[in-house]
Chain A
Amino acid sequence: MLQGLQDLGSAYLSFMTPMTLLYGLGGAFVGLVMGILPGLSATLAIALLTTMTMSLDGNVAILVLICSYVGALYGGSRTAILLNIPGTAANAASCADGYALAQQGQAGRAIGIATSGAVTSTLLGVVFLATLTPLLANVALKFGAFEFFWLALFGVTLSGSIVGGDPLKGWMMGLVGLLLAQVGEESLYAYQRFTFGSEALAGGIGLIPALVGAFGLAEVLMALSDPIERKIHDLTDSVLPRWRDLIQYRWTVLRSGLIGVFTGLLPGVGEDAGAWVSYAAAKAVSKEREKFGKGSIDGLMAAETGDMSSVPGHLVPVLSLGVPGSAPSAVLMAAMIIHGVQPGPMLIVEHPQFIYHVVAMTTLASFAILLFGLFGVRPMLQVLKVPRNILMPIVFLLCAVGAFAVASRLFDIYVMVAIGIGAYFLRRRGYEMAPLVLGLVLGPLLDKSLRRGLVLSDGSLVPFFTRPISLVLATITIFMFLLYVPQFRRAVAGVGKTIARGARSALGRSGI
């Protein structure tokens, strides 16, 4: 315990140099601008900055990336409030009440609420990041191939069902992602799969080119294809954070913060889920339920705190299990690997300090967004006035640079373009890209774990279901999957109601 606090203290001190703080602010600034621009996501911000920060010291580079991650999610609420378009997917829940407040001439107040909620919830999430990561990492040390197989499958199952509204299309994208991850030389016998004799394909599909394509180019095409350009809402009142609102809605902040962290822990559940679940929970218990969707402070606070606290939540499984929960955390994990830190169960053994460094970085990121929230909102909104005809070609330029820079291969630019065009058409047909990314990230883990497990068990499937942790993960995965079968879902709901009735009558009899 004391050792942990000492490590945390030295981690904070290690970042207290003017240059490092400046890099952090720079990362948050880029993230904020990306978040403000509709469509440009936290994923793209991290992917582009990964290439830019390759020559920096590992810890400084990760600081820049975490600051841009937090900054992008925070920046995304600006367009949700002013344009009714979420800057990132995670800010969609902020649209309803944020835009309604803007229409009532309270856009500045809505932005102030977003700032105070974002800072508080990120700091709340940081506490959980510091306490849960070492605990989970100790459990993860007991994980073997069998457990990792179930974890990877659980991630894909969840991503298919929760991201977007159509589980079938989500699972299909998850399967496509897993399939793309099989391209190239496999890790067990060095056999080349789906390469069709191409040397370039033997190296596999790079995560960063694929992500830049799916989230960058697809978005460029989305923006350029729209014949109508939206106009920004006027910002007339003060944008300073409203701490009084924060105190008044403290239970909403606490509840949504906890929901955000715990949805963040689940592999495959993006930041948007944290926001939506928090919003739904706030609506269920709020005294001003009728105002939800019409400019409710409670609703906006819940949505903003839910998505921001999920950022530290997402970092917990990345660090302790090596399994990212969302697309931005997947790129962040790839960046950590590029900088010589392998996230996963062995992290606590090989780089025990790193966990505390990430805690310090996330804290700094929340202070960076507070600083920009206090002083930088109005000037940064000017970026929304740049016509998309000018902005989008420049974004594509950055996409090409981002795809090329990691491995200096032209082939990666072609991959980015192919995946970007494919992603555009799939998105137009109702397919989400987040499950594809998760499949791409979890594909190698799934393949390696399944076949390594089968080697260890000499071809027997029994250990996949009999080892204690495996059994728990298998039960949860199969249960989650079966919940999408209507008959099973109805049966579970029936059992739930019977238990609730039984509990109520038992409590009534005992006079409690």
Chain B
Amino acid sequence: MNSAEPTHATETAEPQHDGDSDATASPRADLYDAIGWVILGVVVVVLSLQMDRLQDRHINPLTVPGLVPGLLGVGMTIVGAILGLRSWSRGALHQALPAVAENQRKRRLRVLLAVILCCGYSAVLLGHGLPFWVASSIYVTCSILVFDRMSSDPVKRRIGLLTVAKALLIGVLSSVAVWLVFERLFLVRLP
């Protein structure tokens, strides 16, 4: 079942995030999700209704292209509404979102950096003329260095010349290996 048990919160103290379990799946978070799903469902229904009915082709009105998307939109709206009602019955309006603990703050920062690195690699480095192995070497090296810097171990956090050289070596070796195996051995086109 959902990690959030049905509780009507009466306590005044705000629950703390432990950072491991995701307390964002609390009734309040579910309520926000439900609102988002209902909006998405309604948008899908509206877009489906606006789709061409292909009347000029004299097709059966029950087979219009918007039929299934429209039904799915209705389904999403209904399931979203039930989710909202359930979170309300579990005390979503009385229970605040849990306070963010230190661990959770670290997690958010780490994921933000990982997303930036992944997006940078996919959207900027790949497919814009840079050879695959060069782009990949830059990405892997930067990732290793960034997450070493984020480490809880003070020794690992120190970025010296040796750490940079090691990260660069791993980046180049892994990228060249992927390039050789995929493009040369298995004849797969790479970006």
Q: Which residues of A contact B (CB under 8 A)?
A: 51-55, 165-166, 168-169, 171-172, 175-176, 178-179, 182, 186, 188-189, 191, 193-194, 217, 220-221, 224-228, 389-390, 392-394, 396-398, 400-401, 404-405, 408, 410, 413-414, 416-417, 420-421, 424, 428-430, 446-447, 450-451, 454-455, 458-459
Contact = CB atoms under 8 A, between A and B. Distances in A.
A168 B82 CA distance: 8
A445 B48 CA distance: 19
A227 B151 CA distance: 7
A401 B182 contact: yes
Contact of A390 (B1, B76, B144): B144
Majority SS of interface residues in chain A?
helix
B1 A165 contact: yes
Interface stretch (B8-16, B51-59, B88-96): B51-59
Given A182-B69, A428-B24, A172 B37 contact: yes
A194 B47 contact: yes
Given A413-B126, A414-B123, A188 B63 contact: yes
B131 interface: no
Contacts of A424: 111
A171 B79 CA distance: 8
B148 A389 contact: yes
Nearest to A52: B186
Contacts of A186: 65
Interface in B68-97: 68-69, 72-73, 75-76, 79-80, 82-83, 86
Residue of B20, B24, B65, B152 ringed by the most chain A CB atoms within 10 A: B65
A221 B118 CA distance: 9
Given A168-B86, A227-B19, A417-B118, A193 B69 contact: yes
B111 to A, nearest CB: 4
A447 B51 CA distance: 15
A53 B187 CA distance: 9
B178 A401 contact: yes
Given A228-B152, A446-B68, A400 B110 contact: no
Contacts of A416: 122
12 contacts: A51-B188, A52-B186, A53-B186, A172-B76, A191-B65, A225-B107, A394-B174, A401-B191, A413-B127, A429-B22, A430-B22, A459-B61
B180 interface: no
B126 A400 contact: yes
Contact of B118 (A169, A172, A217): A217
Contact of A169 (B83, B107, B140): B83
**How many residues of B sit at the interface, in one of the four size bands?**
35 or more
Given A55-B187, A451-B68, A397 B174 contact: yes
Contact of A404 (B72, B111, B186, B190): B190
Given A224-B110, A393-B144, A414-B123, 16 more contacts: A172-B79, A175-B76, A179-B72, A179-B76, A191-B52, A191-B54, A225-B108, A225-B114, A397-B139, A397-B174, A404-B190, A405-B189, A413-B191, A417-B122, A429-B22, A447-B68
A220 B119 CA distance: 13
Given A221-B114, A228-B152, A454 B63 contact: yes
A497 B145 CA distance: 63
A396 B188 contact: no
Given A165-B1, A172-B37, A454 B118 contact: no
Contact of B29 (A224, A390, A392, A429): A429
A176 B76 CA distance: 8
B35 interface: no
A346 B81 CA distance: 41
A100 to B, nearest CB: 21
Interface in B111-132: 111, 114-115, 117-119, 121-123, 126-127
B47 to A, nearest CB: 7
Given A404-B191, A446-B68, A390 B170 contact: yes
B84 to A, nearest CB: 10
Closest 10 A/B residue pairs (Cβ): A393-B143, A430-B25, A225-B111, A389-B147, A191-B65, A459-B62, A447-B68, A410-B127, A451-B63, A224-B114
Contacts of A189: 54, 57, 59, 65
A196 to B, nearest CB: 9
Residue of A54, A405, A459 ringed by the most chain B CB atoms within 10 A: A405
B2 A169 contact: yes
Contacts of A166: 1-2
B158 interface: no
Contact of B186 (A55, A221, A226): A55
Nearest to A417: B122
B126 A389 contact: no
